[in-house]
Amino acid sequence: MTGVPAVLAPTPDLFAGLRRLAGHPDAYLGEGAAGRLGEAIEGLGGRRVLLVHGRTSYLRSGAAALVDNWAGRHRIEHFDAVRPNPDIRQVREGVAAARRFRPDVVVGIGGGSSMDVAKAVAVLSAQPVADPLDCLRVPGLISERRRAALVLMPTTAGSGSEMTRFATVYVDGHKHSLDLPAARADLVLVDPLLTFSLPGTQSVTGGLDALAQAIESHWAVSAEERSRALAVRAMELLLPALARAAGTGSFADPRVRADMAYGASLAGTAIDLTRTTSAHALSYELTARLGLAHGTAVALHLDWLLSRHASLDEGECRHPRGAAAVRRLVAVTQVLSQERTGGSVEQLVRRLLGAAGQPVSLRELSLPASTWKQPLTAALSSSRAGNNPCVLTEADVLRFLV
């Protein structure tokens, strides 16, 4: 589905000295990875390059200066209209720009929103259907191979979007997903140096999103041995890194940044295999309705779901290995947290949210139950909720929402 001829793939020695990321044959991590983007694009046969990014992060991270070093060798077009939690209007604008420009390579640079828009633009601009919304609503309309190579380079550590084959787009406040192999990048470059200027609040929310992805992938109904191993390794990196940041009040430590970047990419690889579960399914309405950062919204639901799954019984379990196995998976997570942070996952989450000025519990939001019935019905009937090991009811959620 990628449409990238193998003969044009960048040579492996271009990435010498970088760590090859598990689960993706062409994903590399290490300081200096971003500086190899220009040569990588040439290796992919890129003459016309569409750069998809936001305005602030592109400059702040240092990505703009790195692009300037090689931009003169290519014809470059910028689509810089990406904003957090991208909506269909942004995607339509990006698809229109790609159809006009006809790039050989689409490069997404930024956080999860930039990478999600880059994926959507690369895939949907090749489709004969005029309106991208039709493709989101009816995935069967996506019939044409993508014409451009897709390169992703995160400037945050958290979304894991660089490693997945799906993207989130909001339509009238409701989440839609593009989920298919063609949305998987041909090349991923993860450079921790691009995350050093990231503000503390964004570092916290991104890190909590990555941690939730790892935990959810670990207990997911669809999990298998490989995905669980990836999820555990991600937790082993993310838990101590987040604890160090919480203890010092800073993400400036290069080891913290490196472990966050690596852990986030591993968590992304894990959810690419399993998808997420109810913490994510329930989070989207909080983001759409209240404007909460995605990582905050997910973490607020992860908090109560940990205890809910720790006491799971057979009558409400949908996991193929049974309720006892789910309880053991939660116990493994909490043991890892105790060993690496000195406390439970919930304690770490609340410390980080509080330090970042975010709400530390759902009850702080003071949400009226009457407004949540329809959104909860939709969330609890979603595929992500169906991937949750516990069958949840509206009453379960409302106990913590109001």
User: Which string of DSSP letters, residue by residue, matches 123-170?
Assistant: HHTTSS-S-HHHHHH-GGG--SPP-SEEEEEESSSS--GGG-SEEEEE
At 307, is the pLDDT very low, low, confident or very high (cuts 50, 70, 90)?
very high
Q: Residue 214 in contact with residue 270, Cβ under 8 Å?
A: yes
Assigned token pair, 131:
């309106």
Q: Residue 106 in contact with residue 95, Cβ under 8 Å?
A: no
Assigned token pair, 209:
């999103």
SS3 356: coil
Q: Which residues contact 315 (CB under 8 A, 6 or more apart)?
A: none
Per-residue CA distances from 203 to 50, 294, 297, 299, 389 (Å):
27, 12, 15, 14, 29
Question: What pLDDT does 117 receive?
Answer: 98
Beta-bridge mates of residue 106: 50, 150
Domain topology for 199-401: Dehydroquinate synthase-like, alpha domain (1.20.1090)
At 333, is the pLDDT very low, low, confident or very high (cuts 50, 70, 90)?
very high
Supply the pTM of this predicted model.
0.94
Beta-bridge mates of residue 19: 29
Query: For 100-118, what is the mean pLDDT?
Result: 97
At 367, is the pLDDT very low, low, confident or very high (cuts 50, 70, 90)?
confident
Fold: same for 6-194 and 199-401: no
Domain positions in the chain:
6-194, 199-401
Question: What pLDDT does 339 receive?
Answer: 98
What H or E segment, with its residue span, contains residue 299? Answer: helix 294-310
Is residue 1 scored above 50 in pLDDT? no
Q: Residue 119 in contact with residue 76, Cβ under 8 Å?
A: no
Assigned token pair, 51:
């750069």
Is residue 64 scored above 50 in pLDDT? yes
Domain topology for 6-194: Rossmann fold (3.40.50)
Question: What pLDDT does 9 receive?
Answer: 63
Query: For 121-146, what is the mean pLDDT?
Result: 93
At 5, is the pLDDT very low, low, confident or very high (cuts 50, 70, 90)?
very low
Assigned token pair, 271:
């959810």
- 151-206 pLDDT per residue, tens: 999 999 999 999 999 999 999 888 898 999 999 999 999 999 999 999 999 999 99
